Amino acid sequence: MIADPFAWVYAQLTRLLLSLGMTAVWAQTTLRFVGAAVLATVLLVSTFFLIWGERKLLARFQDRLGPNRVGPWGVFQTVADFVKLIGKEIIIPTHADKVVYLLAPLLVVLSVVGIWAVIPMAPGVVGTDLEVGVLYIVAIGAIGTLGIMMAGWSSNNKYALIGAFRSVAQLVSYEVPMVLVLLVPVILASSMSLVGIVDAQAGMWFIVMAPVAALVFLVTSIAENGRAPFDLLEAESEIVAGFNIEYSALAFGMFFVAEFLHSFTIGAVVATLFLGGWRGPGAEAYPLLGFVYFLLKTLAIWFLIVWIRATLPRVRIDQMLGFNWKFLTPVALGILMLTALVDKMSAAAGWNRALVLILANAAAVTVILLSVRAYARFQRRTDQAKGLPAAVEARPAAAH
Amino acid sequence: MEPLKLIFLLAGAVTLLSALMVVTTRKLVHAALWLVLTLAGVSVLFVLLNAAFLAIVQVVIYIGAIAILIIFAVMLTRGSMDDTGPQTNRRWWLAGLIAVGLFAGILLLVVSEPAASAGVPAEAPGDSLRQLGLALVSVDGYVLPFELASVLLLAALIGAIFVARPPDAASEGGEE
């Protein structure tokens, strides 16, 4: 029981349902639904503390105190905010498309919570070990895009519509490099199932073998989340609040929860794909320990995302698109081909796989940096030739 | 009743009803959203048939790309939000006839196929995804259609870039 509490709970519940006179198939189906409900509820409740944690961290980054009134260290601030949100009226604008308007926030939350269905949280603890888990993550993200479109259109507000258009420009185009680098761990593990990918990292984490892919995946995930520095979907200073401008009370709260939970979810996905998921010393014997490792890795990535948000200013919309199409997409394509080629070659020649891949990645980084520098020089020279002042235009590529 | 059968009946009913709504609803955006529900229902049917890969691809391509593009195009088209014209034209019976004929043909084909009455296909042995991937690139398999499709997509990609290119190539402006 102590060794594997998850399996113990499952066995107990199955016995209970069977004793109530259910057939085995129905008991299993019921437990699936119960498990999904428990997982979703725990995630949504944990968002209370994620929001508090993020606000507290942001405050520290900005030399402030942050929430500190409700509960010890302000831990229950979000609960108070939530109670306030429940008490408010959900305002539906005139001429808004009522059903679509109310459905949109639900879809956005669903797209985030749904990702957790395939993430292995401890040995043997996974919603469902889908054979195509990696593709599933992409598919469920598409539903979030749909939700944002629906929100922007149904609000009958031009700012909301502009926000929705931006969301399509951003979310759909950042999906391209994201899907490409998602294939790198798939190649390394030769499996699309997330359980298979975690199992393949028993010897070595994939971040060691594919650091460039991990970094590109993190950046594109932040863009998919619509978070600073890619928060153009709801840029307050440009389009007031973007796609969610008309939403109030709990309907707005849903978008809010989805965004904050999404950053934590990105942490979980990155931890699973590149940091070995629940793997760690002693995790196989004690699943609870594996869960702790998984949580620590997820929180580390989550902290990184909050750190980035606190540090970087918002990019312009043309920079956002240029960075994606002119930098991330070629890099993702190149690193995908390089990984496939080098992995195949090292397997054929019997080289040390990790070492060869690290060297290949180092070479790729050098080439990327050199070409970015060459591009910057070329740009500067053309600007001078045209008699323009030294370009202030930031070259987003230089940041990486 | 088996739970899977129940889910199948529910998914089938939702798919059929929303497909009906796609062609009968008056608002174009609503039609697109009903289409999304129809496609989602079809992907649930794929899951029930143990075809997880097809189900996910259905969602990625049809909902994630095609439906979103349709909605985007509808939103950008001024005056298409409320369609007040008649929903059918004089030749609706011809379309109906073709649809019924097609359905009867498919039904005939399915009923005559012995595998159709076998119910849910058994879980594919081993790694079905790997088999699919190998079939796509093996010479005995589907390498020719696969490569043809790639060339077609590449041509479409280049064509799109050519069409979208501003007449004056030097003025590479922003989005707006």
pLDDT tens track, chain B, 176 positions = 677 888 889 999 999 999 988 888 877 778 888 998 999 899 888 888 877 888 888 888 888 888 888 887 877 776 655 666 677 778 888 988 999 999 999 989 888 877 666 665 555 555 677 788 888 888 888 889 989 999 999 999 999 888 888 776 555 554 44
Question: Chain B residue with minimal CA distance to A103?
Answer: B33
In three-state secondary structure terms, A53 is helix
Burial class (CB in 10 A: 0-12, 13-18, 19+), A295: middle
A59 has a pLDDT exceeding 50:
yes
Question: Chain A residue with minimal CA distance to B60?
Answer: A139
Q: What is the 3-state secondary structure (H, E, C) of B134-163?
A: HHHHCCCCCHHHHHHHHHHHHHHHHHHHHH
Greatest alpha-carbon pair distance for chain B in Å reads: 68
Q: How wide is the angle at C-alpha B150 spanned by C-alphas B146 and B152, nearest 5°?
A: 115
Residue from the list B2, B56, B63 with its beta carbon closest to the beta carbon of A132: B56
CA-closest candidate to residue A242, choices A141, A139, A317: A317
In the numeric block, the tokens 């070492």 are attached to A355
Q: Comparing A54-58, A370-374, B129-133, which segment has the lowest mean pLDDT?
A: B129-133
pLDDT score, position A290 = 83
Residue from the list B3, B63, B174 with its beta carbon closest to the beta carbon of A146: B63
pLDDT score, position A31 = 81
CA separation for the pair B132, A135 (Å, rounded): 15
A47 has a pLDDT exceeding 80:
yes
A367 has a pLDDT exceeding 60:
yes
Higher pLDDT, B123 or A286: A286
Q: What mean pLDDT comes out for the span A297-302?
A: 91
CA separation for the pair A198, A202 (Å, rounded): 7
CA atoms within 13 A on the CB side of B176: 6
Question: Chain B residue with minimal CA distance to A176?
Answer: B65
Sign of dihedral through CA atoms B144, B148, B149, B151?
positive
Distance from CA of B57 to the nearest CA of A (A): 8
Q: Comparing A184-193, A234-243, A322-331, B3-12, which segment has the lowest mean pLDDT?
A: A234-243
- Taking CB atoms and an 8 Å cutoff, what residues of chain B touch A127? none
- pLDDT (tens digit per residue) in A114-156: 888 888 887 777 777 777 888 888 888 888 888 888 888 888 7
A237 has a pLDDT exceeding 80:
no
A168–B52 C-beta distance less than 8 A? no
Question: Chain B residue with minimal CA distance to A142?
Answer: B64
pLDDT score, position B156 = 93
Structure tokens at A391: 């370009």
- pTM for the complete prediction? 0.83
- pLDDT (tens digit per residue) in A339-353: 888 888 888 887 777
Q: Is A295 left (phi over 0), alpha (psi -120 to 50) or beta?
A: alpha
pLDDT score, position B155 = 95
Average pLDDT, chain A: 83
Q: Comparing A328-337, A368-377, B27-36, which segment has the lowest mean pLDDT?
A: B27-36
pLDDT score, position A399 = 46
pLDDT score, position B175 = 45
* Chain B touched by A392 (CB under 8 Å): no
The string of DSSP letters for B21-85 reads HHHH-SBHHHHHHHHHHHHHHHHHHHHHTT-HHHHHHIIIIIIIIIIHHHHHHHHHSTT-SB--S
Q: What mean pLDDT comes out for the span A269-281?
A: 86
B175–A142 C-beta distance less than 8 A? no
In three-state secondary structure terms, A368 is helix
